[in-house]
Amino acid sequence: MENYHLIAVKYFGATNTKGSGSRIKLTSTRFEQSIFIPFNHSLNNPEDMAIEYLKKQGHKIQGKAEFVVICKADKNHQFKSLKD
Whether the pLDDT of residue 1 is over 70: the answer is: no
d(CA 73, CA 62): 9
- Greater confidence, 54 or 77? 54
Cβ neighbors of 51 (< 8 A, separation 6 or more) are 61, 64, 69
Burial category of 5 from C-beta neighbours within 10 Å (exposed 0-12, middle 13-18, buried 19 and up):
buried
What is the spatial distance between Cα 15 and Cα 27, in angstroms, rounded to a whole number?
Answer: 20
Which helix (H) or strand (E) element contains residue 41? Answer: none
Please state the domain extents for the chain: 4-72
Chain segment 9-57, per-residue pLDDT in tens:
999 988 777 666 889 999 998 888 999 999 888 997 899 999 999 999 9
